[in-house]
């Protein structure tokens, strides 16, 4: 089956309802669970098309927001007093400062135009010790062309690029995971092997992994230190003048 997907909700639904998509959900969900094994009554938000990964939020969380970029179209989701779904401008989130403990960015980052502005906005809404997980297609991976052709992603990323983006926007890198070590396939036999190849997470396979999963923590003092540095530089320049 060939997927000619545009950036909208219905097309994501088509992919994730396929046998390949369901396998990807299981694999990626396990990776997320390893990074966030317990939610500890936390306030969480998912931005992008994150509904297939709802299963990782099984219990022990206080609140869960599903933030869907407007460019993806509209979506009706089952009502739950703990879950809120809203269509958003990803660079102006309708959330208060310090209101979220964890932010999952999936099927989103590769469609953004201004990653710096988005990360600064993510930094704003995260609590002082808040964490962010970003999942993106790997520039050198087997899934690169699948994401671009079938999922219409605007770009892909290397781990080096992700590191720089987070570090330059006041996040500390905690962990980087790699996943999907076989090319996408229409063969159910090969799709089944995807799960087995998750154990081959070594230096060579990381380079060709389909996706990169990076976990960062909000560096709350970084902007303050940066402001002090700018002030000191201004003082020195005034003295020299």
Q: How distant, in Å, are the alpha carbons of 174, 233, 236 from that of 81? A: 32, 50, 55
Higher pLDDT, 201 or 113: 113
| Alpha-carbon gap, residue 66 to 44, rounded angstroms | 9
Percentage of residues in the chain having pLDDT higher than 90: 56
pLDDT of residue 193: 79
Q: Are 126 and 100 in contact (CB under 8 A)?
A: yes
Mean pLDDT for the chain? 84
Sorting pLDDT into bands at 50, 70 and 90, what band is 235? very low
> How confident is the model over 202-215, as a mean pLDDT?
86
Sorting pLDDT into bands at 50, 70 and 90, what band is 148? confident
pLDDT of residue 76: 60
DSSP at 187? -
pLDDT of residue 80: 55
pLDDT at 179 over 90: yes
Tokens of 180: 């999907």
pLDDT of residue 61: 86
| Alpha-carbon gap, residue 11 to 57, rounded angstroms | 24
| Alpha-carbon gap, residue 182 to 198, rounded angstroms | 9
| Alpha-carbon gap, residue 168 to 29, rounded angstroms | 28
Burial class (CB in 10 A: 0-12, 13-18, 19+), 188: exposed
Counted residue by residue, the chain has a size of 241
pLDDT at 233 over 70: no
User: 3-class SS at 68?
Assistant: strand
Higher pLDDT, 16 or 11: 16
Q: How distant, in Å, are the alpha carbons of 58, 95, 100 from that of 40? A: 12, 20, 13
Tokens of 173: 């890198």
Q: Which of 12-16, 110-114, 231-235 has the highest mean pLDDT?
A: 110-114
Over the stretch 79-132, which tens digit does the pLDDT of each residue have? 555 557 888 999 999 999 999 999 999 999 999 999 999 999 999 999 999 999
Over the stretch 25-81, which tens digit does the pLDDT of each residue have? 999 999 999 999 988 889 999 999 999 998 898 778 889 999 999 888 766 655 555
């Amino acid at each position: 089956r060939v997927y000619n997907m545009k950036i909208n909700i219905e097309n994501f639904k088509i992919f994730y309802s396929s046998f390949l998509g369901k396998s990807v959900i299981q694999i990626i969900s396990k990776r997320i669970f390893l990074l966030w094994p317990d939610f500890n009554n936390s306030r969480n938000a998912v931005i992008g098309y994150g509904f297939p990964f709802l299963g990782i939020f099984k219990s022990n969380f206080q609140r869960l927001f599903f933030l869907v970029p407007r460019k993806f179209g509209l979506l009706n989701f089952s009502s739950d007093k703990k879950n809120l779904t809203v269509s958003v401008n990803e660079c102006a989130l309708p959330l208060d400062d310090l209101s979220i403990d964890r932010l999952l960015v999936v099927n989103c980052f590769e469609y953004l135009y201004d990653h710096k502005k988005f990360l600064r906005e993510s930094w704003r809404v995260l609590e002082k010790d808040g964490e962010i997980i970003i999942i993106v297609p790997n520039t050198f991976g087997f899934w690169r062309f699948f994401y671009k052709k079938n999922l219409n992603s605007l770009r892909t990323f290397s781990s080096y690029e992700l590191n720089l983006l987070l570090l330059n926007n006041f996040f500390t890198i905690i962990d980087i995971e790699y996943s999907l070590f076989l090319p996408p396939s229409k063969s159910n036999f090969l799709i089944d092997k995807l799960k087995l190849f998750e154990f081959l997470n070594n230096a060579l396979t990381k380079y060709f992994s389909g996706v990169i999963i990076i976990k960062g923590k909000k560096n709350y003092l970084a902007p303050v230190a940066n402001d002090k540095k700018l002030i000191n530089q201004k003082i020195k320049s005034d003295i020299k003048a």
